[in-house]
Each structure stands twice: as structure tokens, then as C-alpha cells.
Structure 1
């Protein structure tokens, strides 16, 4: 059930108490990103003045779930409090997922499975101040929620990256960014396909147009974790499952309505070496995302200095890589990053943003993973072929998973919702990925 709402046109006292909180600088020695949009120069992400910056982001889940799902934690705190907590953690950006099926669906404030809404703390998520015959309120849609989140994030200096997570709100079983039409079997796992490649593109255009000219929204992460294990995805060569072509087509469509945001292109995941005909290096597995072809066959956009590539890096706790006999720390792990994506940064070809990374850090193996990855991002493995960074340059950007508490690995960075309550073992790592 929903909590009885206050007048949605009047901010409740809880919101007033947060004014001082939102004026605090980013914690952990980190810095907020400068105002304005970002671009790229070689392997660096730069601000409007050409100065190198580091996207130090954290994920906020919830709207990656079935239609009507709310951002996590809104059953207990306001969305403003969550954004304040992100800044208090030293982060300068939040990564927020969306699904095609859920974009226009009103938030479900009553279903425990999707997360109900603490209405009096999220008073402006009520679309109609008059409840229905059952005493229930009608809430805004997911896209309208995003507009409110972006508005408040802009007030506190926090940037936003939107991530297309799935088509239907469940794990994308077909490995693709669409589930209907040529290239797809017309299904996404057990769910009947409803989203064509064209629908996917037009939904991105709509989001891009919604936030055009708004410097709070700095990037669009085109698709979460495309899975090459199904044998469908190629890099180049054309066809409906060519992920390079998707990034170019969708990226160009976005840039036609929004020239300013970064276009973030993912490498497809391969727990085993990809097929020889894939267009990618078939020599080794890349469970974090295969960008082996991006150096010689790069994504090309009409506005070229807006391209960022992305991978996800997790230890076995999350990614289950041990059963494939893949290293998660040490020299072998460094070599895999070098070959899979790190060379793009090392050779000054393009920036790479680690769009998800995280661990509960409760075992020595997890801690070794974190030490290797954060050291690699910081330029500590130049003697093993990794990237290094000179004066005025920023290390590799990353996004920790995730804000809030969680009962599933890698758990959340907080022990409970609110401002503070950070797990010290995770903060010891995230403090090292902040922008200085």
C-alpha cells in the first residue's frame, strides 16, 4: 500500500531539511564535473575548455525492472535524498537504466514486487492529487520521473547518464538490443518480442530530444551488456546484429536531435572466444566486453568527438568467470584488459568508461580483483602494457554498482537508505576512482 500523500503542490518539511545537504561538495576528496557538456580528445574525456575530466559515477537500479518499477529506495526515502547521498559519496554522475516497455508506464506505487512509493516523501511523483475510489493515487510515468530526477540532479551539480537496459524489463536472453524483426527469433527468452530495432532507435531519439540542451544529461549508454554468446552479434559486416552499425545508426539519430551528449558504445560479452567471422579477435574470451576491433574498425559518428566505449568489469562473485578459468586479478587479468579494451586508452585512440564495476569485497579474491582493476584504471600497470597518464590527464572513468543497500551480490555501497551509511570496504575502493 502507498503512504498517504501530502498536497503534491506543496513541498513537505522533509524536503526543506535537505537544503543544507545538497549544498555540500562531493565527498572523499572527489570533485563534481564542471558545468556544461563533455567531449573527447584522444583517450581523454574533456570539458568545454578542453580540460580532462573523470566520470566517477554510480548506478541506481529499479527502472531496469518490469514496467511500472520505480527507482530503488523510493519506498523509504525521497529521490532527492538518494541523489544527495550520491554526491555525499563523492560521485559526480549517476547511471540510470530504462526499458522500452516501461518508458511510458505510470509508476506502480502499490506492488511490493516492483517497490512501492513513500508518497509523502515523493510528493511530486503523484500525477493527480485526487485518489481513485480505492484511495490510491496515480503516479507519473517513468520518463516523467526521469525529468524530475534530472531537474534535481542539476540543482546539486550531479550529472546523469541514461542506460538502455532491456526491452521488456527482464534480462535480455537473446543477447541483443531488440527482440522483434530480422536478426531476432521474435522472442527475448520466454517473453514474446515487442521491440524492433527501429522502435529501439526511436525510443532513444525520444529520450535524447527530451533532454536536448540540458547539460545535466551528459551521456547515453546505448545498451547494457550485449551478449555475444548466442553467436548473433558481429562487429562490422552489416546486418541487423552488427553492433558497430547499431552504434553508428542510433548514435547518428541521437545526434540529429541532441548534439551535445556523449554516445557510449558497448563491447559485446564473450565468456569464450568469439567466432572467427564475428569481426572481433577470436583469440581469447572477453567477458567484460569485446572491443578488440574498435581500434582498426571504429564506430564513426557525424559528430566524432562524442564517442566513448564501455565495458563492465566484475569479479567471479558477480560474473561467474571462474568456471571459464578466467583470471580476475594479477598479470593474466591485466593482459586480458589490455587486449580487450585497454589498448584504446593506452594508444590514445578513444576513451573507455567502465559502465559497471563492483564487489562486496568480502573475500580475498574480491579484494585482489578490486586492487588490480583500480590500479589499472589509475595507470599503475604501464610496465605490463597498461595505460599510463601524464600531467593534466585523468585516469579511466568508472561507474560503481550500486547506490543503496542490496541483498544480492555485489550488494550496495550503503547499509541502509539515506545520506551516509556507506560500507567502508567499498568506499576504500570508490574513493580511488573519484575525480580529483
Structure 2
């Protein structure tokens, strides 16, 4: 992304498994639904190893590209609890930005709290920490896309090479990462270079500037080492006089497609942002936001709609502070969701960002690195992957025992992390009846003095030890056999999981 932070706000992603010793999460049973094995493409679809359609629906967790050479937030939390929370919210993929600096021998991470947190990361190099994150993702059945975000920690680059990091180094490092994770389908792909921009061109034929040709060279080099990986190719900034977001312009694909030596491995990627990042002409159009689908179709959506290749919106984000940004995100989610008209096909996406310290967008987490921004997460709920938050599918309600049945549900409560002073938990609601739920309510009573401090994807009331949680507007409807989930934070920690009761309507 080309904002002030992604480049400069470095202070001192989807994989989740419960903390050690805990075998529970609201999503612990849906790992297989993230798509087993390596993934490949067919037309506009991405398919898992069994040939089933899958959706990348995740977050960006940045930091390895910055001057501390490691994912941010590990000064505040254990990486396992961070990942735990990602999965509890229903994200199935992490886009993990890095710079080529982490491939230099002996590069060490900074700003990791080892005092009771991240103890297994002590003394590890940056690449070894990345290995641990990848391993934890794999245990959870979630996926990682590696993103070459910067040539070095100093900042992004318009072209894929710089004076200090030539093309040969870029390709050698891409091949090194491909070899490092060969045979490990947790790492499903590599985003070759983040946000190519002017003077980068698409299809102009100048080997020093033509990003499409460079992507072919790098993509084929990666596939020569690991032919199972997806090759993610972002757009450019300008094409035939049409200017857009950095990396967000895929207009040139129609006339100049990327051609890889291994079939069914190419995914095109675009970035799109709101006014909290920068102004664009379309925000001032009198018809905004009704004009946005045509804008998205023109810049990148047509690649999907014409069945050329899958399209992955690798970055999109906003502070949600201006009203125009709220309208933009609502319109974008509707646009991404509208692909249900294409059956099992779908746009793919990773939200920018998980981190709260992205200067012009903020993140899914708030500044305490713990509390969820429920407004942002709520917008994304409708486009999360099937099998996650409200995305489950089950028997046809028109089948035996269908529409006339009595609504029924069960709920499962699981503590995902507990640090003594507080805890996080997830509750999974499952429709056990033969008719769709219109709404649901979960109740319980704690045996101790626990108090809810935050809840996402549901609303609640608490009176003494008794709690009642009611579905949010976006996840009350649950198909027969499907499920929805919500999460909560509370204090103090150390309490036992209560028995919960689900009431359906």
C-alpha cells in the first residue's frame, strides 16, 4: 500500500490454533474447509487439491518488511494468541509482507516480548520466526501468501528492482523462499512485488519498466523451484492514460496477459482504497457510490467476470471515519459478494490490515492490539469464506423435513486465549434443525466474577453472572446444517468455560 505507514509507520496474519493445551476454537473444526493441500486455478476459480472451489478471505499482518524484520504486535502479545483471534473471527488466509532484508544471513527480529510471551521465538532469526508462524498456520489448516512488499526495510519501490537490490537478487530471493517452503502447502503462493507504479508499465515491451514481462520472468523462476505455488501478479498504476491506485490497474491484462510455463497457477491481484488513503476522481462523482461497480469492473473486475483468471483484492482498507469511506466499503463488499451470481466462483481478498498501526487505515484490531474493531469486521462478515462465520452450508431446507420444521440450534463455548488478567473466547452456533434460522440467542452463567469487556458479531446484556448474546444483523440467518460464530473478551481470566444454551427462531 502506498500510504504513509506502510512505508513509514513502523513502531517499536490467517492461521490459528488454540493456545497450547487447548483444543478449541469456534472455528477449530473448519480447517478442511480452508482447502486442503496446494491450490490451483481453473478459469476464474481457485480450487483446492481435491478440485473444490475455495476463497481467499483474510488479513494482512505486516511487519517483516519493516526495520524490526518481524510481524508487528509481538511486543504486546504472543503470536499464538494473535493467530488464535484471527481464526476466531473467520479469516482463513494471511498475506505476510516481507522485505528482501530478512533473507540476508543472520537478520534478527526486534521488538519481541519474550517475558511470558513468544518464549519459543527467543534467539531465532527473522526467517526462523516466519517458519514458526507458517507451522502454526499449517496446524490450523489456514494458508499464507508471502508478499514481497519492499526491496529493503527503508521503503517500497516503484519497480521490482533498485540500485541496491537488482532483479537478480529479487528473483534469487523469491526462489529461495519457494524452495524453503516446498512441500508445505500452508504457503500457497507468492505475491511477486507489491504495488508496481509509474514508471512501471504493462505491455510496453521495455524490459526495464514492463512489469508484465518481469512478472513472467520471476513467476517462471519460482515455478521452476516449486511448480505447486500460486503466482500472484499485481497490476500497475497507469495504463493507456488511465491512472489508478498503485498496483490496482489490471487494464493491460486483456491485451497482454501474463504467460507462465506452468498452467493453472496465475492469480491477478489489485489494491483498492478509500479517501483516508488518498482522493481519487470517482469519489467526487455525483453518482457515488453507484458509480463504483463500473470503476472496479474497468480496472480489475473484468478479469474475473470474463473468466480470464482469478482476481484477488490483496489490499483494501479504511479508517471508516469519513462517511464517504463507509459508503465505499459497503459498496465494495456488495460488489465482492455479488459474485455469488457466478455460482461457486468468487473474488478473493485480504483486508489491510490486521495491525492497528497502519497510519492511514488502522486495522481490525484497535490500538491495544487486543480489542476488535467490530464495525470493520462486521462489514467483512458477508464475504468470509464458506465454513467460517455464517458461511456454512447445509442440507437444502426444501428437502425432507424442510420448511415446516422447528428451528433448533446448539452452541459451543471455547476459551481461545487466557493471560490471567483477561481472556478471549469464541462461541459457535450450529443450526441442528431442518429449517433455516432467522435469529438465535445464546445464554450462560459464569461461576466466577467474569465480566465481558467486548463482543464481536453479536450484542449482549449481562446481569451479574448471567449473559445473553443475540445475533448481529448480518449473521442471524443460518442455513440448516450451517453455523455462525461470535467472539468476546472479558476479565479476569482463569475461569472455567460455562455451559451454554442456544434458542432459535
Q: Describe how 1:334-345 pairs up with structure 2 within 5 A.
A: 334-345=293-304
Q: 1:125 Cα deviation (Å)?
A: 1.7
Q: Equivalent residue for 1:433?
A: 383
Q: Which residue of 1 aligns with 2:349?
A: 398
Q: Distance in 1 between matches of 2:319 and 2:200?
A: 33
1:193-342 → structure 2 map (5 Å cutoff): 194-228=164-198, 231-269=199-237, 274=238, 280-282=239-241, 284-287=242-245, 289-321=248-280, 329-342=288-301
Partner of 2:53: 52
Residue in structure 1 matched with residue 134 of structure 2 by the alignment: 150
5+ residue gaps in structure 1?
A: 1-14, 110-114, 128-139, 181-193, 275-279, 380-386
Q: 2: CA distance between counterparts of 1:324 and 1:179?
A: 34
Higher share of residues assigned helix: 1
| Cα-Cα RMSD | 2.6
Equivalent residues in 2 for 1:96-135, closer than 5 Å = 96-104=96-104, 105-109=106-110, 115-127=111-123
Q: Does structure 1 retain, via aligned residues, the 8 Å contact 2:35–2:52?
A: no
Matches within 5 A, 1:24-103: 24-25=26-27, 32-66=33-67, 68-103=68-103
Structure 2 regions of 5+ residues with no counterpart? 1-16, 387-505
Larger RCO (alpha carbons 8 Å, 6+ apart): 1
Would you say the 8 A contact 1:316–1:328 is kept in 2? no
TM normalised by structure 2 equals 0.68
Using the TM superposition, give the Cα deviation of residue 75 of structure 1 relative to its aligned residue in structure 2, in angstroms. Answer: 0.7
- Note if contact 2:356-2:362 (Cα within 8 Å) is conserved in structure 1: yes
Question: Are residues 1:20 and 2:22 paired?
Answer: yes
Out of 370, 373, 391, which is 2:329 matched to? 370
SS in 2 for 1:80: helix
Q: 1:326 to 1:207 in 2, by over 3 A?
A: farther
After superposition, what is the alpha-carbon deviation per residue over 1:276-304, rounded to whole angstroms, capped at 9, x for unaligned?
Answer: xxxx333x322252111212321011112
Paired residues in the alignment total 368
- The reply on whether 1:346 has 2:348 as its aligned counterpart is no
**After superposition, what is the alpha-carbon deviation per residue over 1:49-68, rounded to whole angstroms, capped at 9, x for unaligned?**
222111001010111212x4
Instruction: Report the Cα offset of residue 236 of structure 1.
Output: 4.5
Cα deviation, residue 326, structure 1: 7.2
**Partner deviation per Cα, 1:204-245 (whole Å, 9 max, x = no partner):** 0000000011010011011111112xx343434141221111
1:168 aligned partner = 152
Decide whether aligned partners of structure 1 residues 326 and 198 sit closer, same or farther in structure 2, where only a CA change above 3 A counts: farther
Going from structure 1 to structure 2, the CA distance change for 1:35 and 1:418 (only over 3 Å counts) comes to: farther
Secondary structure in 1 aligned to 2:315? strand
Structure with the higher strand share, 1 or 2: 2
